[in-house]
Chains A and B, each alone.
Chain A
Amino acid sequence: MLKRNTKKTKSTVIEPLKKRIPKWRRDSKAIDKFKFVHHFLPHPEKKERAKLLSFKFFGLYILLIVCVMGIFRILPILAPGVLGYASSMNISDLLVNTNKVRQENGLGELVINEQLSKAAYKKAVHMFKNDYWAHVAPDGTEPWDFILGEDYDYVYAGENLAKNFSTSEDVVKAWMESPSHRDNLLNDHYREIGFAVVNGTLNGFETTLVVQMFGQPKDMSHLANKEDSAKVLKEISSQAVTTVAGDSAPKKSNSLVVENIPAIDASKVTTYLSIGLAGFVLGLLVLDIWYSHKKSIYKFTGHTFAHILVLGVVLLSIWFILQPGLIL
């Protein structure tokens, strides 16, 4: 009697419980699906954001970025030249774009000068061989030393530098956006110009250096003419070399387009990583607002809308404002 009674009691307790638990909660596959979905969507019972928006995951995203930065610092030391900046520079475009902005500002066209181009080339090779990025070398060599070294006696002279850019248009655009470089591009005193576009490894990163030198010769009778430009441009293209710090046998190319294709493009990796991560988190936050509203989930957290606003502005800044390359 007693045994029978116990059984009856057990079944009466379990039955209502079974009724209260939804059917899918007894299905392990459905439970796994529920768990997976809430990596992306807020949890209606725990009143929490999606797991991928938890503090733990934010810590992981930051750690991932820090790790990539660490690898990018170590890799150039362990394997110089593996990381770099891809580029495809057209030397002729550099001249055309420079003259275009001068014409737009009511200034005369500059003519390519062979001596200035040779000086620019020597400056670029000097930077690669001595591993520096500056107007004045660590040994005190100044841009004027390269110009005078080519027997170019000048009244006025100037230098613009650029590195890590992908196209020649971007280089001239960046120079125009910087007041000091713009002053050089739009200086009425200059009559001649010289260019060098050289590939090499600088501080462990494979990159392309662009050196632009301006001048006005003391003796104006030595002024180069337009007809010589094509010849000098060809000459410059044969200077387009690949040189590594300490490399004594640079490889020459014979094209007006100087290309640099490193094994890993640092600029692309970092841009895709940051835009990808920002976009992913932004998407999860939008899902959070939509799903929380749909299921009436009230969470005790920071403002999701404010996070969306901030991340949106950061994404816009990276997309529209950040430009590859550095000028000096």
Chain B
Amino acid sequence: MNTHEDKHLLEYIILLIGLVVFFIAFYLVKGTPQLQLFVGFGGSLFYVLWGIIHHAVEGRLNKSIVLEYILIGLFIFSLLSIVLIY
């Protein structure tokens, strides 16, 4: 059975796995800010792509939603960057 809820759940599971991987990777490279910055960039990019693909699959993708995920991704990356650089 492949209902809308199942699809939604699967996409959220993918997001959760991605976030757990990000958290573990961020922890593993603790003490090396350059690598943490790289992991932070990867995490932000993953979320932007997840958001876009998720909405495309749902058939609700438009410019505004793409911009929203890009802004959230940039916001997350800038939050991590300022702490890692200084």
Contacts and interface: CB of A to CB of B under 8 A. Distances in A.
B18 to A, nearest CB: 9
Contact of B71 (A62, A270, A274, A317): A62
- Counting contact residues on chain B (CB < 8 A from A), the size range is 35 or more
Contact of A281 (B19, B22, B43, B75): B75
A207 to B, nearest CB: 11
A126 to B, nearest CB: 24
B31 A178 contact: yes
A177 B30 contact: yes
Interface in A219-258: none
A55 B54 CA distance: 20
A68 B23 contact: no
A119 B41 CA distance: 40
Interface SS of B by simple majority: helix
A318 B32 CA distance: 14
Contacts of A306: 12, 15, 47, 50-51, 54
B75 A271 contact: no
Nearest to A273: B82
A41 to B, nearest CB: 18
B34 to A, nearest CB: 10
A277 B79 contact: yes
A58 B15 CA distance: 22
A309 B71 contact: no
A322 B86 contact: no
Given A306-B15, A317-B26, A326-B33, 13 more contacts: A55-B68, A174-B31, A178-B32, A270-B85, A278-B79, A301-B65, A302-B55, A302-B68, A302-B69, A310-B19, A317-B22, A322-B84, A323-B31
Interface of A: 55, 58-59, 61-62, 65-66, 68-69, 72, 174, 177-178, 266-267, 269-271, 273-274, 277-278, 281, 300-303, 306-307, 309-311, 313-314, 316-318, 321-323, 326-327
12 contacts: A55-B71, A58-B72, A66-B78, A69-B85, A266-B86, A278-B79, A302-B51, A306-B50, A310-B19, A314-B79, A314-B80, A318-B80
Interface of B: 12, 15-16, 19, 22-23, 26-27, 30-33, 36, 43, 47, 50-51, 54-55, 60, 64-65, 67-69, 71-72, 74-76, 78-86
